[in-house]
Amino acid sequence: MPGVIRRAGRRIAGAALGLTLLAAAATGGPAQGLPDRPGAAIGPDDAQAVLALIERDLRSTDARLAGLRRGRAGGICGTVEVRNRMGTYTGPRPFVADLGAGFAGRLPEGAELRNPGSAADFTRLERARAMFVENCIDR
């Protein structure tokens, strides 16, 4: 008897999944994870300037930007996804850019702060963290 109940449960779950997929296809479903237009919230000129800073500071010529918006203190906030040394994308991470100062940096993770490559790297990471708190965190 337990085997019959288990099989019936699988059939019901499979049918429910099928109906969900069918309904999503019929209604258009949620938008797929396509990157939004990088200049939508800040303007195309600023978006290009941010891309140039990302290319220079993060050494990534094919970075993916999303969610760009103007921060509280005038910086530009968003997420950036860059490739690692093996050529795969590392996943989106928050970043902040200051066009006036010519600076862009990702929000540092704990491991980066605990073990920076040099004192200059630590200063840059702390600057990015402070700018992110000042501009991008909702209070």
Other Cβ atoms closer than 10 A to 133? 13
- Given this model, what pLDDT does residue 2 score? 56
Distance CA 78, CA 113 (A): 21
The helix (H) or strand (E) run that includes residue 52 is: helix 44-57
Q: Tens of pLDDT along 92-137?
A: 989 999 998 999 888 888 787 788 888 888 898 899 999 999 998 8
Phi and psi dihedrals of 67, rounded to 5?
65, 35
pLDDT tens readout for residues 9-53 = 455 544 444 444 444 444 443 333 334 444 447 888 888 888 888
Q: Half-sphere exposure of 113 toward its Cβ, with a 13 Å CA cutoff?
A: 11
